[in-house]
């Protein structure tokens, strides 16, 4: 069995890493949430978002830091997110696994 299977991301973890990678320097709570909601057309709660960010940070797949306070946020800081090289690797492994798993699926071959 390939070793990548043990470290395979969860579905929401993959969505979050993909959104953060796409947003690049503008990846923080609200923007990641909007990106996930627009691509999946499903509601994303703040609870799910922040607990998943924490989990990914503990695994070393993303890093976070507090930005400066901005007026449109009532003078509060943003928690910025950046995907680490290990995170990129994990997302790629997930994507490859999904591609391999889907190769002979009827909705792909049809």
Partner 1 sequence: MSYLTRLAKHMVAQLLERDELEAVMGDLTEMRATPWRSSIEILGLIVRRQAAHWSHGFPWVAAFGLALPGTLLLQGTSYSISCRYQGLTGAGICNGWSPAGSGQLAQLPCLAVLLVLTSWSLGFLTSFISRRTLWASAILVAAPCLYCQAKFHEAAVSRLCLLLFLPLMAAGACQGLRGTRIRPATAIALTAVSTVLTLICNRM
- Does residue 50 bind partner 1 (CB under 8 A)? yes
Nearest to 33 by CA among 18, 44, 21, 41: 44
Residue 74 interacting with partner 1 (CB under 8 A): yes
Residue 7 engages partner 1 in binding (rule: CB under 8 A): no
Bridge partner list, 65: 80
C-alpha to C-alpha distance for 90 and 7, rounded to whole angstroms: 7
Q: Does 72 bind partner 1 (CB under 8 A)?
A: yes
Task: Give the residues lining the site for partner 1 (CB under 8 A).
Answer: 28-30, 33, 45-48, 50-51, 66, 69-70, 72-74, 76-79
């Amino acid at each position: 069995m390939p070793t990548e299977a043990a470290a395979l991301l969860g579905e929401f973890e993959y969505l979050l890493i993909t959104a953060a990678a796409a947003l690049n320097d503008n990846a923080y709570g609200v923007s990641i949430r909007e990106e996930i909601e627009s691509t999946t057309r499903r509601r994303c709660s703040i609870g799910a978002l922040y607990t998943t960010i924490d989990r990914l940070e503990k695994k070393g797949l993303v890093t976070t830091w507090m930005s400066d306070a901005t007026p449109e946020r009532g003078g509060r800081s943003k928690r910025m997110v950046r995907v680490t090289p290990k995170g990129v690797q994990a997302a790629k492994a997930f994507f490859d696994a999904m591609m391999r798993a889907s190769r002979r699926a009827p909705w792909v071959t049809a």
